[in-house]
Amino acid sequence: MKILITGGTNGMGKGVAKVLAGIDNQVHEIIILGRSEKLGKDVIKELAHTVSNKKISFILCDLTKLSDVKNAILEIKNKHDFLDGIFINAGLGYASKRVETVDGLDSHFQVNYLSQFMLTLNLLSLLEKSLNGGRIIFNVTEKGKIFWDDLQMMHKWNYEDGIQQAMVAKRMFLAKLHRLYRERKDLKLSFIGFQIHEIVWSNQLNIIPTFMRIMATIMKSLGRFISIEKCGEIMTPLFTENKEDSLKKSGKLITWKKNSFINIKEDLNVLEQELQDRLWKISLELCADEKTNHIAMNLYN
Ligand SMILES: NC(=O)c1ccc[n+]([C@@H]2O[C@H](COP(=O)([O-])OP(=O)(O)OC[C@H]3O[C@@H](n4cnc5c(N)ncnc54)[C@H](OP(=O)(O)O)[C@@H]3O)[C@@H](O)[C@H]2O)c1
């Protein structure tokens, strides 16, 4: 399988990259997309050394910039004829204040959702060329709501609402992609929302304030966290399973319980087509990119 992982330089993304790189006689090829060239090189070196997988590459892309996303799309398309899977994972976590991106958007909204909306739409054509059933796994949680009157959270901001709004946006996006492909009677691709069942001990622990880190360390000693490698072990079957098993999960929000994947009941607002269409339209307007708009329009035909 050839899998693109956004945010594969740390945390859950790195956990999935590490496990995928080491299994099945190192047959899987992994493309890591990240904002730090140094971290990218470090991961490639680490995986070549620890699991002897040399088929790991890096695409530099800062998701706070739509111009970077456009360059990354070009680079991926120049280097690859197909993809078997994408892990939509990169995300900002804790922040002490609202940060606006160069594109004038709330950074959680852009990094965790909008830039990856644009990336996904532009890479669907590569996934459609997969011989193994192209799939996109979205790293999501079940909570949150969309602040329709203040999407960029200019009037009332806190980082948790920012993260959770992006989670809902990703779930609406995957539900809409699932619907569009099924309306076209096209059963090529799967779009799956996955919620990890435990908190993962990720790089976020190095970013949060000291008092939060102390609390987290206490919780860790009580066994309340899982490692990025454990997270990778749980998630890798979603990337390697056969097309039929992947298609059965498409359009669903799932999690891991008692050693199997189970469905979570999706919020009715997320499944509301009118709301999905509203967010889709706003997202395309914010991308302001002719090519992305063209791809989106063609999905209706
Ligand atoms: N940890 C959990 O328990 C948990 C639970 C549910 C969902 N999640 C979600 O999982 C995702 C990953 O989080 P994590 O906990 O694994 O955190 P993490 O260790 O901080 O990893 C986040 C990844 O996203 C990348 N990233 C951040 N900003 C970026 C940007 N502007 N451009 C490109 N890449 C960027 C980071 O790059 P750098 O390596 O350069 O920092 C890193 O690779 C997030 O969407 C989070 O909300 C986490």
For the stretch 250-290, pLDDT in tens is 999 999 999 999 999 999 999 999 999 999 999 999 999 99
Q: Quick check: CB of 199 below 6 Å from ligand 1?
A: yes
> Over pLDDT 70: what percentage of the chain?
100
pLDDT at residue 301 is higher than 80: no
How many C-beta atoms surround the C-beta of residue 170 within 10 A? 24
User: In ligand 1, which atom is closest to the CA atom of 14?
Assistant: 43
Q: Write down the domain spans for the chain.
A: 2-198+228-298
Among 130-134, 166-170, 181-185, which stretch is predicted with the lowest mean pLDDT?
181-185
190: its two tokens = 């799967």
71: its two tokens = 């360059």
Q: Quick check: CB of 107 below 6 Å from ligand 1?
A: no
User: In ligand 1, which atom is closest to the CA atom of 225?
Assistant: 3
pLDDT at residue 115 is higher than 80: yes
H-helix or E-strand spanning residue 32: strand 29-34
CA of 301 to the centre of ligand 1 (A): 35
User: In ligand 1, which atom is closest to the CA atom of 195?
Assistant: 6
**For the chain, how many residues are written?**
301
Q: Could you write out the DSSP letters of every residue in 41-62?
A: HHHHHHHHHHS----EEEEE--
Q: What confidence category does residue 184 fall into, taking pLDDT thresholds of 50, 70 and 90?
A: confident
CA of 184 to the centre of ligand 1 (A): 33
Angle formed at CA 161 by CA 229 and CA 97, multiple of 5 degrees: 90
pLDDT at residue 11 is higher than 80: yes
CA of 203 to the centre of ligand 1 (A): 8
pLDDT at residue 140 is higher than 80: yes
Give every CB contact of residue 216 below 8 A, 6+ residues apart in sequence: 205, 208, 225
| pTM value surpassing 0.95 | yes
Q: CATH top-level class for 2-198+228-298?
A: alpha beta
**The pLDDT of residue 187:** 87
Give every CB contact of residue 295 below 8 A, 6+ residues apart in sequence: 121, 122, 124, 125
**The pLDDT of residue 88:** 98
